[in-house]
Amino acid sequence: MKILTCSAHLQQLEGILRKSLPIALPVFGAVLNINRGNPGQFEVLVDKWPEFGAVLARPSGEVASGDTGHCRRGVTRRPGMCQECSEQPWKHCSWICGSLGTLGVLGLELGMMGAGLGHWAHWKQGFGPAPGVRVGSLSPSHVDLLNDTWPYGGNARSRRFLAEILGRFPQVCLQDGSGQPLAWVLTDHFGTGTHSYTLPEHRRHGHMQVALTVAAQRAHARGFPTFG
């Protein structure tokens, strides 16, 4: 397969994939991140260009041996279907993730991220953090808390993975008056929600709705789609 390195080709690919959402979603987020500074050091491969039939997103060669080295996603055009007249010209062809369980939570987290869009109107009408709660961000010192509260965490590899996405990708955290985390939303290499959590003692106060709304607004401002 051919690695796309030309910025013009990558921008063209982004436009093509955007027209095929949500079917092309497995690789679309990675392409968006690549075209916006490539914080995850990913690369995109196609079987040929410009008349490609398959797209694969994966860690670039210099980092492929790390903890995300086995995390790849791709889509392929369905054989025999016209891409111009078919409503869904794509299908998922390769979802290969390591033991971190990213694939298992993708659908749930996408739904949660998309749910934030439903609260935009409330936000504009004064819907926001509860009194004494502010919108902030997580710091590297919180990685152990993230690892302890992630369903796929609790080990050294998951800790390294969470530390990486914490340092590379957008995230939102609601904090109390002393700056302690109450709820948060993390995103990953594919532009999807990876770890959304509210501490048990702070649940049923609408904190996650606020965090998701802020995350969805910021993602939308960067050109990322959101789905519920």
Instruction: Give pLDDT tens digits for 195-206.
Output: 999 999 999 999
pLDDT, position 224: 85
Binned at pLDDT 50, 70 and 90, residue 107 comes out as very low
Whether pLDDT at 93 is above 70: no
The pLDDT confidence band at residue 127, using thresholds 50, 70 and 90, is low
pLDDT of residue 121: 42
Q: Which helix (H) or strand (E) holds 195?
A: strand 193-198
Q: Is the pLDDT of residue 7 over 90?
A: yes
The DSSP H or E segment spanning 157 is: helix 156-168
Beta-bridge partner residues of 210: none
Q: Is 75 exposed, middle or buried (0-12, 13-18, 19+ CB in 10 A)?
A: buried
Domain covering 109-221 in this structure, CATH number? 3.40.630.30
Q: What is the pTM of this model?
A: 0.74
The answer to whether 63 and 41 are in contact (CB under 8 A) is yes
Q: How does the average pLDDT of the chain come out, rounded?
A: 78
Two structure tokens written together for 192: 């999807």
Give domain limits for the chain: 2-96, 109-221
Own/partner long-range contacts of 91-94 (Cβ < 8 Å, ≥24 apart): 91/23, 92/23, 92/26, 93/54, 94/56
Distances (CA, A) of 82 to 85, 88, 137, 153: 6, 10, 45, 43
pLDDT band at 21 (very low <50, low <70, confident <90, very high): confident
Inform me whether the pLDDT recorded for 149 exceeds 90. yes
The 8-class DSSP code of residue 225 comes to -
Looking up tokens 């794509």, which residue turns up?
90
Q: What pLDDT is attached to residue 135?
A: 96
- The residue written with tokens 């979802």 in the block is 95
Residue 30: predicted pLDDT: 93
Segment among 72-76, 128-132, 157-161, 219-223 with least mean pLDDT: 72-76
Mean pLDDT of 148-169: 96
